[in-house]
Amino acid sequence: MNFELPPDVQSYLSRLDEFINSKILPLQHAGNNNRFFDHRREASRTQWDNGGLPTDDWEHLLHEARKLSDDAGFYRFAFPKEYGGAGSTSQNLYMSAIRYHLASHPVYGGGVSLANDLQNEHSVVGNNPIVIMLHHYGTPEQQQKFIPASVRGEFRATFGLTEIHHGSDATHMDTTATPITLPSGEAGYTINGNKKWQTGMHNATHCLIFARTSGKAGSPKGITAFIVPRDTPGVTVASYEWTLNMPTDHATVLLEDVKVPASAILGPVDNGLAIAQTFTHENRIRQASSSCGAARYCIDRSVEYANERKVFGKPLSSHQAIQWPLVELSTQAEMLRLLILRTAVEMDQVTAACKASGKAPWVAIEKQLGHKIGMCNYYANRLATEAADRAIQVHGGVGYSRHYPFEHIWRHFRRYRITEGSEEVQIRKVAAYLFGYKTTGESGDQKKAQELNKGEAKL
């Protein structure tokens, strides 16, 4: 049994480091670009007098970095092979290792650098769920029209699942889509409802809107996904929600008599929720890797500082009050790192088996590994905030200042305990696996759920 990263992964990380040091860091340090990463970062990134939206200069810099990465052959690594991706059979392992490496790196780690600024989900190795969804569910026309445009940055879509009154309970959504005949005589739908936390709405070209087309509230069946152009009449931004970490691009969107043709449907009618689940597990293991890497960054910087800082005539690190919390965090981070990598390898193995048999890999991954991915994700996101908090404490007054990155790391990674599936939802998923049920028990059908879960385990 070998616990080291495979040589090909290590080689890729080395090449990635060379690229970052030769191309990305010089761009970060050019002119006045460091204002986006030092103590001025939040003020420099935010249009305080324009709804808190990102500044144009900030987004232009991110675009420059992505272009450099794309030209160097790194940005599209995780894309489908026919659109420039690597086509690796170990993609989950690669992406987990990459995300951990970028977030933990002593020079550009913590998620606060032009190589990997996680506030904007920006990375020199891209993560584009919309491309994956179009690749698996789009019609040939949709794929030809939208995927190349997405790769070029000309197709930018929000993800419209969460609503004003519904978050984790997405199957109870208020948004509906009713069949109509358009004035052209073409079959279509009228969409009414709302969506909240629509990230990227300020520069989106389209909205991916999930709406109920049949069935009752609470049923996973009867929900359909629509690709809606941003400028469609009836699509209105009600507000941008200011958040703990600014700038914001998270909109509340109102949908009033929004008319779209039937060709706007993405994937199967009444079974659109499957689209939302296509990329869930890949996203969660990658986020877990980033959070674990950020935790390691905070721990390592705290150890360095404690060794250098002299208090009462001796190193700060000589005090057990400093040592013990960092020992616990370091132990947790290393155990978690190994669990993440093992789970990523198992995801790749399940994916390979499903492709060989012509089955959808995300269904099998959910059944076989959903609980492990939940463990990795909820614990990593919590660990990142705990490590950032401890780093602030170890560094004292300077740790509390914005001249160090820890307050930014804490504010950013705190969001992931809510998004990508709240930690409560993921803990419940793990509990369902451990205790053999898939309901809260409130409906009185726990025995039936246990039998169902046992049956699924045999598949």
User: By the 8 A CB rule, do 281 and 369 touch?
Assistant: yes
Q: Name the packing angle between helices 91-104 and 280-308 (round to 10°).
A: 30
328 Cβ partners below 8 Å, 6+ apart? none
pLDDT (tens digit, 9 = 90+) per residue, 270-310? Answer: 999 888 878 889 999 999 999 999 999 999 999 999 999 99
Q: Which two tokens stand for residue 244?
A: 């703990």
pLDDT (tens digit, 9 = 90+) per residue, 224-245? Answer: 999 999 999 999 999 999 999 9
Segments of the chain assigned to CATH 2.40.110.10: 157-266
**CATH fold group of domain 7-128+275-435:** Butyryl-CoA Dehydrogenase, subunit A; domain 3 (1.20.140)
Q: What is the mean pLDDT of the chain?
A: 92
- Per DSSP, which regions of 141-261 are E strands? 157-160, 176-181, 187-199, 206-212, 223-229, 235-240, 250-261
Q: Which two tokens stand for residue 33?
A: 């670009």
pLDDT above 50 for 106 = yes
Give me the mean pLDDT over the 413-441 stretch. 85
pLDDT (tens digit, 9 = 90+) per residue, 57-69? Answer: 999 999 999 999 9
Distance CA(33)–CA(43), nearest Å, equals: 13
Give me the mean pLDDT over the 397-413 stretch. 96
SS3 category, 363: helix
Segments of the chain assigned to CATH 1.20.140.10: 7-128+275-435
Q: Which of 191, 192, 203 is nearest to 251 (CA)?
A: 203
User: By the 8 A CB rule, do 454 and 436 touch?
Assistant: yes
pLDDT above 50 for 454 = no
Q: State the pLDDT confidence band at 341, using cuts at 50, 70 and 90.
A: very high
| Domain covering 157-266 in this structure, CATH number | 2.40.110.10
Distance CA(157)–CA(264), nearest Å, equals: 13
How far is the CA of 247 from the CAs of 13, 36, 45, 163, 239, in angstroms?
30, 11, 6, 21, 14
pLDDT above 50 for 161 = yes
How far is the CA of 190 from the CAs of 158, 181, 232, 259, 333, in angstroms?
19, 9, 11, 5, 49
Kind of pairing between the strands at 157-160 and 206-212: parallel
pLDDT (tens digit, 9 = 90+) per residue, 28-87? Answer: 999 999 999 999 999 999 999 999 999 999 999 999 999 999 999 999 999 989 999 999
Q: Which of 220, 206, 216 is nearest to 160 (CA)?
A: 206
Kind of pairing between the strands at 53-54 and 235-240: unpaired
